Amino acid sequence: MSIDFCVEKINTRSNTRKMVNEAIAIEAPVNIFINDEYVITLLSTPEFKKELALGWLFDEGVLESTNQLKQINIIQDNINITTKHPIPEEKLRVVSVSRLITTACGLSAKKFFAIMSDLEQKVVESKYSVKADAIIRMVNRLNESNLFCLTGGVHEAALFENEKLVAFAEDVGRHNTIDKVVGIGIQSNVNFSNTVLVSSGRQPADMVLKAARMGIPIVVSKAAPIRSGIIAAEKTGITLACFVRNPKMNVYTHHFRIL
């Protein structure tokens, strides 16, 4: 989602100054509640709000099964998820360390160490594999993003099940794009053990661990890996491929899944 924004713009090449209407990406707060209790605010492009909230709860390990869900209510920017049974306080305490998640998606030291301690508990055992040229085709689908072409201000993510596109999302925050496509996948009953998660953003540990919690075996990105992301992928059994640009890519961990 974008808005035509009227702004005075200076062109340094021609040394001209004029008022123009330019497409600008939007960010807006999405407030997540669990059983009527406020948990966190995500700053996000205001599309797929329900999917964002659902994906975030699963990606952060708050929920593990759709059987836990009772209902989801949306009132403007507030999303309340009601569960059949109370969520353990410890889970909510960890994810609520930072009450506001900005589009920069910076981590507090406390949240970082919580992530690193969780790595050993999430191991992806799927033997699913794909050919390298199929990976290239999947990443090329990100280049079809209309919002990025208009604004230059968003990230994209896509989820492929058995090489078929099942979810696509754009957002000002790269973490949000992952949560959105996972949320779409959950609602579509996707078998995550046969999926490839494609992202336009760099891959630190917290991005990789989102995939690990869902059992996604292959994560690929047009961008760079971060050291913590490579460590996370190695420990959780995920195949991590970055700098995916036709006709090549760098595969950093669990190479057997890329044929």
At residue 19, the pLDDT reads: 74
Q: What is the pLDDT of residue 120?
A: 62
Pick the CATH number of 28-119 from 3.30.1510.10, 3.30.450.70, 3.10.20.10, 3.60.20.10: 3.10.20.10
Q: How confident is the model at residue 4, as a pLDDT? A: 58
What tokens does 30 get?
């999405």
User: 6, 105, 149, 242: which one is catalytic?
Assistant: 105
Residue 115 pLDDT = 59
For the chain of 259 residues, list the mean pLDDT of each consecutive stretch of 10: 66 74 85 92 92 94 92 94 89 64 52 59 91 96 81 90 97 94 97 98 93 97 95 95 94 97
Reduce the DSSP state of residue 247 to 3 states and report it: coil
Q: How many CA atoms, within 13 angstroms, populate the side-chain half-sphere of residue 169?
A: 29
> What residue segments make up the domains of the chain, in order of their start?
28-119, 132-257
Q: What is the pLDDT of residue 23?
A: 81
Tell me the CATH class for 132-257.
alpha beta
Q: Based on the residue annotation, tell me whether 105 is a catalytic residue of this protein.
A: yes
| Overall pTM surpassing 0.75 (yes/no) | yes
CA atoms within 13 A on the CB side of 187: 17
Task: Supply the pLDDT for residue 5.
Answer: 66
